[in-house]
Structure 1
Amino acid sequence: MRRFTILIFAVVNAVLNLLGYQTISEEFINDVVAVISGAYFIWAGWKNNYISKKGIRQKEVLKKHKLH
């Protein structure tokens, strides 16, 4: 639901910019994209590596069964 809401705001912003109205500055958009991208990359790194206690246990099970 959140992604759909963000999509609606992005489309409205794009249409208003096409009509000549400055709604959100490009700098602000670039900053928001950079922050969201950074947070996503950190999250993906955390989820896809065996860093947490649960991940360490999963890695041990994989090694035990020679799957890793």
Structure 2
Amino acid sequence: MDRGTLIRTLVLFIALLNQILVACGLYKIPGTPEQWTEVLSTVVTAGSAIWAWFKNNYVTAKGKRQKEVLKQQNLTK
């Protein structure tokens, strides 16, 4: 696993864990007002999920070209 994938995975895991804990009322992010803790947690979770999805999929023109090269070299499924 490369460094970028590891970082994206950790950020997503932390955001999802925080979202679950906030939804259960077990944890609040320190230093944030109660009224926007859930909003902040949701934004972080959504942002990290979109980031992880975008980085791990071939959605840009450059990514699609990279996927074609990988296929030509038999380096992908």
Extract unaligned runs of 5+ from structure 2.
1-28
TM-score, normalised via structure 2 length: 0.55
- Report 1:1-68 matches (<5 A): 13=31, 24-25=33-34, 27-68=35-76
> What's the TM-score, normalizing by structure 1?
0.62
SS of match in other structure, 2:33: coil
Rg (Cα) greater in structure: 1
CA distance in 1, matches of 2:52, 2:60: 13
4+ residue segments displaced more than 4 Å? none
Q: Which has the higher contact order (CA 8 A, sep 6+)?
A: 2
CA distance in 1, matches of 2:53, 2:63: 12
Report % sequence identity. Answer: 40
Q: Distance in 2 between matches of 1:45 and 1:55?
A: 13
User: Aligned residues, how many?
Assistant: 48
* Deviation of 1:40 (Å): 1.1
Unaligned runs of 5+ in 1: 1-9, 14-22
RMSD: 1.6
How far the C-alpha of 1:43 sits from its partner, in A, is: 1.2
- Aligned letter for 1:56? K
